Amino acid sequence: MKFPFQNVALIGKYKAPEIAEPLLLLAGFLASRGMSVVVDSLTAEHLKSSPYPAMSLDEIGRVVDLAIVLGGDGTMLNIARTLSPCHVPLVGVNQGRLGFLTDLTLDNMQDSIAAMLDGKFVTEQRLLLSARVLRDNVEVFSGLAFNEVVVHRDHISSMIEFEVRIDGEYLYNQRADGLIVSTPTGSTAYAMSAGGPILHPSLDVIELVPVCPHTLSNRPIVVKGSSVLEILTHRTGDLRVRFDSHTSYNMQLHDKIIVARCPETACLLHPVGHSYYHTLREKLLWNQTL
């Protein structure tokens, strides 16, 4: 990470014209601080008469020191997968519903970002997953996930059957609607809805959570972050693998999925005093009196 920040990218929620006003206000503030500001090209489509140059995400990854994302967690997931391999730190301003990853608000964003530009921030490195689909031992698809890699049935109502191995050792055969392989970040997303435990994002672990398994003995399992997972599909059709609900690939019978920790991490910046437990209390309504 390069500090002090000089070149800053602003990225808004996809197809959200309402993001224009707060984004331009933030851009003007950053420019007044002497920052060089660029805007994501898709976001720029919603800006009228913007004086700031527009760039693709690939171009942004090569030239900026910091990216500020205005949107929800879904927006941050997509941006993190793209920019993390470029080692660009990310700041999130929440324009969505939950805001586990985008912890600033429109009301406090200017003051919070001003403090961050002065070096008052907390740095957090979060694990990413890398997954490859093999067909007859030939790679046919690959992708990154910030939350989870999910193997699931697509349109048919029958269960899928799959085998799981960890570091080459057989773990189990499973009949279920699907399997979630989650990072600690994703433990508060689909994995939590499927009955998995909440994991602190600093943990170096990977979580496996079957979706609606056809067995009473099923339990989610958490393995070390350096583990290599193999998922081999059996006796099923109409199968798909998804990466953070943003990218998907239609699989065939006997395809194998290899999931492992990505060498790069996602770097998130938070205001001083940021607390993950405070976020849980707020977002999961744990602070309400019964």
Residue positions annotated with a catalytic role? 73
Where b means 16+ CB within 10 Å and e means fewer, 104-130 reads: beeeebbebbeebbeeebeebebbbbb
Q: Which helix (H) or strand (E) holds 40?
A: strand 36-40
Looking up tokens 């500020």 gives 68
Single-letter code of the amino acid located at 175:
R
| Cα dihedral sign, 134-158-234-254 | negative
Burial class (CB in 10 A: 0-12, 13-18, 19+), 160: buried
Q: How far apart are CA 276 and CA 21, in angstroms?
A: 29
What is the DSSP code (8-state) at residue 95?
-
DSSP per position, 183-252: -TGGGGTHHHHTTPPP--TT--EEEEEEES-S-TT---EEEETT--EEEEEES--SEEEEETTTEEEEE-
Phi, psi of 32, deg, nearest 5: -70, -20
